[in-house]
Amino acid sequence: MKKQVIATYLIETAYSLEHAAQVMAGEQSTGTFLALPGETEKIKQEHGAEIISIKEIETVSSPSLPGAKVPDGSIANYHRGEVILSFPYHNFGPSIPNLLATITGNLYELEEFSGLRLMDIDLPIDFTENYLGPQFGIEGTRSLTGVTERPIIGTIIKPNIGLKPEELRPLVRELALAGIDFIKDDEINGNPPFAPLKDRIKVVMEEIERAADITGKKTMYAFNITDDIENLHHNHDLVVEAGGNCVMVSINSIGYSGLSYLRKHSQVPIHGHRNQWGLMTRHPYLGIDFTAYQKLCRLVGVDHLHVNGLNSKFYDSNESVIKSVSDCLKPMFNGYEALPVLSSKQWAGQAPVTYEKLKTIDIMNIAGGGIHAHPSGPAAGFRSMIQGWEAAMAGIPLNKYAEKNQELKEALIKFGKG
């Protein structure tokens, strides 16, 4: 029996769904726009993609995307449906770049489609065994941070960019001495000339190690090492040699191959930021769904993966965020679950609704303004986040819990009522 990769799509077309599915299968395997002498039955049997199922969803009167062709002489109605195809594994082997050239490739450009989105993928074990998966995941990250009974609470360096290394020092000192679990660079702060990565690492690790000597807790700091692929190993080593315990990359900047390369060398957790996600997925009938995306990210080794946050500043609905968290926590292949990272417009008052909706504490909850803009400063902002989650997990209303917790009380006054 042939080993197969199964790909699930959401499509929209003015043609019949059956015709559209046949076009998809042919274009991405042995076929083209007309029959060729070399496309023998033997080749089609061994290398052709197959239609597994077609499910009609609805018909609409206008296209989601421009440029789609309408069958000659027909009224332009656009059929939406789910199409599942299988592709022979031996067409591409254990290679994500070649997998993507097959299951996505030219499909998005075909004139038969006014909408096409990759929703999910299922891979054979032969494929997944070629990739390392997460090295630390949830369990390893909890071990390094010493946080086991609640979400891991973190923040982003603010302002996002502009701080020189010595200007960064007092902020890191305050947060580390407060015992914060996690700090990260912003995704736009990589290796700028005014604050080189090497200099930032030196200053940050001096303060984190000094605080650890006092408090007994070593804050996890995710240094943004995003760069050209040939620099990733070097940037990672700068962090590790200084005693660092996490690196961060912009996944969509370095690509799956860049992330896989980093994973082969990494000695610390890899924090995966998905900036540029909107350009890949914001239109519901274009791009890739998070279910498929997170599988590829986990396969190549990301330990933490951003999913946005509930009631955030981004377009993602709460339902989408909840599903994304669930996707990250589902056991997959031979790796650990990836730790979902909730961020964007987060603060202590959101803990109860987040806990109620997600029904898990296996998350990282990152607050920027919700910590830095706290009336009593960032350290108090961190403590307010802890108190918000303590109240949520205990089922105690925030206002009541705030009566004996000043930092939470101040957060409720500053940011709202939760």
Q: How far apart are CA 368 and CA 370, in angstroms?
A: 5
Q: How far apart are CA 313 and CA 12, in angstroms?
A: 29
Burial class (CB within 10 angstroms; exposed 0-12, middle 13-18, buried 19+) of 291: middle
Beta strands in 263-418 (DSSP E): 270-273, 286-288, 304-306, 339-342, 364-366
Residue 285 · residue 115 · CB < 8 Å = yes
Residue 200 · residue 168 · CB < 8 Å = yes
- Tokens at residue 95, please? 């290679």
Q: Are residues 244 and 358 in the same domain?
A: yes
Q: Are residues 278 and 349 in the same domain?
A: yes
Q: How far apart are CA 364 and CA 301, in angstroms?
A: 17
The residue out of 80, 103, 129 marking a domain boundary is 129
Q: Are residues 37 and 54 in the same domain?
A: yes
Helices 290-299 and 318-329 pack at an angle, to 10 degrees, of 30
The residue out of 129, 144, 179 marking a domain boundary is 129
- For residue 81, what is the domain's CATH number? 3.30.70.150
Q: Are residues 103 and 188 in the same domain?
A: no
Q: Are residues 238 and 381 in the same domain?
A: yes
Query: Domains in the chain: how many in total?
Result: 2
Closest by Cα among 83, 88, 151 to 112: 83
R_g (Cα) of the chain, nearest Å: 24
Average pLDDT, the chain: 94
- For residue 298, what is the domain's CATH number? 3.20.20.110
- Per-residue pLDDT, 72: 85
pLDDT digits (tens, 9 = 90+) for 105-121: 999 999 999 999 999 99
pLDDT digits (tens, 9 = 90+) for 222-280: 999 999 999 999 999 999 999 999 999 999 999 999 999 999 999 999 999 999 999 99
pTM, rounded to two decimals: 0.95
Domain enclosing residue 54, as ranges: 4-129
Q: Are residues 323 and 370 in the same domain?
A: yes
Q: What residues in the chain have per-residue pLDDT under 70?
A: 1, 30-40, 43-44, 334-335, 417-418
Q: Are residues 92 and 199 in the same domain?
A: no
Q: Are residues 284 and 308 in the same domain?
A: yes
Q: How far apart are CA 290 and CA 48, in angstroms?
A: 27
For 110, which DSSP code?
-
Q: Are residues 293 and 154 in the same domain?
A: yes
Residue 348 · residue 385 · CB < 8 Å = yes
Q: Are residues 235 and 90 in the same domain?
A: no
Closest by Cα among 365, 325, 363 to 347: 365
The residue out of 129, 150, 179 marking a domain boundary is 129
Angle at the Cα of 418 from the Cα atoms of 346 and 402, rounded to 5 degrees: 105
Neighbours of 334 (CB within 10 A): 12
| Kind plus residue range of the DSSP H or E element containing 356 | helix 351-358
Q: Are residues 198 and 310 in the same domain?
A: yes
Q: Are residues 120 and 172 in the same domain?
A: no
pLDDT digits (tens, 9 = 90+) for 316-349: 899 999 999 999 999 987 667 899 999 989 999 9
- Per-residue pLDDT, 207: 98
